[in-house]
Amino acid sequence: MKSRSKVIMLIVASVILVVWSVLTIIPMYWMLIGSVQDTKSAASFIPKMIPDVLSVAPYERFFGKTNVMRWLFNSLLISTILTVTNVFLASLAGYAFAKLKFPGNKAVFWVLLSTMMIPAQVTLIPLYILMIDVFDLGNTYTAILLPGIVSVGNIFLMKQYMSSLPTSLIHAARIDACGEFGIFWKVILPMAKPGLAVLAIFTFVASWNDFFWPFLVTNSAEMRTIQVGLASFVYADTTDFGALMAGATVAALPMMILFFSLQRYFLQGITIGAVKG
């Protein structure tokens, strides 16, 4: 009796999971398969789920009409810089909040943490005026990068992660007369590598996918990131289905490749710090 109901349960679960997986994947499939069908030719005027003629014409049109190589370069540059600064500064601060004793430790941490509740819309306008009018940084990499150098969310994650590292090793290093920065650099960072890897991956993906801020502070086609560029293409050319799907694919594919090659980090990394919050 018992095992029979278990088998039925397993079958029901499998069916539901397979159906939902298909629903989850269909938009991504539609994007990929739509990007290789030329809807401007008579052969496949209406895109098909399973096409009989494949074409690279949509990609040719997307690459021909836009600055996409420059956008990809901008995105790569910005995401790389922000990943390095976030990993370094968030782990440094996270370590200080988790392991060092100093007056104001808890107070400063809680003030920083509470800013996570403030929606971006509040700081947006003054930040925009500050960057564009006061610092005169409109349309520069500096303007895109500055507010994102280190995020409070990342500091929080690193604090959670650093708390779990053994304190005894820090004391041993202190007795061996390593400087405080030496302890961080030579003892803490090597121990924290798995956490840093997760932080790096999530920061890179988030920076690559970020839209709103780079969109606000850039106004020339050369300075756009791939996301901002794709959005501008949507506004300019909403009728070319194939080229739109090609653009969407170009923006998403690097992150998908990253996901498939580093799947383990993506799927395990989420639990760092999150549940115990």
- Closest contact distance (angstroms) between CB of 222 and other proteins is 19
Taking the alpha carbons of 43, 46, 49, 55 in that order, is the dihedral positive or negative? Answer: positive
- Closest contact distance (angstroms) between CB of 7 and other proteins is 11
- Closest contact distance (angstroms) between CB of 8 and other proteins is 11
Of 240, 242, 233, 202, nearest in space to 215 by CA: 233
Minimum CB distance to other proteins smaller for 54 or for 270: 270
Minimum CB distance to other proteins smaller for 24 or for 220: 24
Q: Rounded to an integer, what is the distance from CA 169 to the centroid of its chain?
A: 33
Minimum CB distance to other proteins smaller for 60 or for 149: 149
Minimum CB distance to other proteins smaller for 16 or for 54: 16
Rounded to 5 degrees, what angle do the CA atoms 189, 192, 194 make?
130
Q: How far apart are CA 47 and CA 176, in angstroms?
A: 68
Minimum CB distance to other proteins smaller for 60 or for 147: 147
Stretch (H or E) spanning 272? none
3-class DSSP state for residue 62? helix
Assess contact for 28 and 22: CB atoms under 8 A.
Answer: no
Of 146, 245, 269, nearest in space to 197 by CA: 269
